[in-house]
Chain A
Amino acid sequence: GESVGLHLPTLSVQEGDNSIINCAYSNSASDYFIWYKQESGKGPQFIIDIRSNMDKRQGQRVTVLLNKTVKHLSLQIAATQPGDSAVYFCAENYGGSQGNLIFGKGTKLSVKP
């Protein structure tokens, strides 16, 4: 049948809980990864990045974990707040001089007050 839209995985959490959003990337040659947050009606906003020579990086309330063995990236948000409700995208850079960012489908995070 005809697709009516992109069905995003949805994560629903209680305010104050920790959130973990997962992403499987496609290219083992990718050497740079970014997490973006997109709120309704806005463009994607940078959250945190990590290079392939690291397996963990921390920011303010956020942590990104990289597992190159299984090509898996995760974003952990501590003490999730209603303002964190958005769609979260991971992006990978295949590397090279062109260095294009390729985005995943996204995960919708809903925070219940």
Chain B
Amino acid sequence: NAGVTQTPKFQVLKTGQSMTLQCAQDMNHEYMSWYRQDPGMGLRLIHYSVGAGITDQGEVPNGYNVSRSTTEDFPLRLLSAAPSQTSVYFCASSYSSSGGETQYFGPGTRLLVL
């Protein structure tokens, strides 16, 4: 199994540009989520999905859209990038949303918005 994969690894955008961060998992996990990591703030949940066709907002959803058309894929879209979205983005998945389930993380996408 490849686990959780993310592309690209690094991206530079100009303010106002749009882009999609890709996330895929091959573990047949129902639960997927996106986090951003900023210095001194830990990881904050952006959006999550409990299954194909179902998504919901996390702690910091503004400026981001998601969709979940398949179990495997959970892309994160930035419609109009802003410098405040400069961060490291992690995708994660788990078998279910049960409390004890381990979340598996991708390697991250480092985004710089100029």
**B partners with A:** no
Residues of B within 8 A of A (CB): none
Residues of A within 8 A of B (CB): none
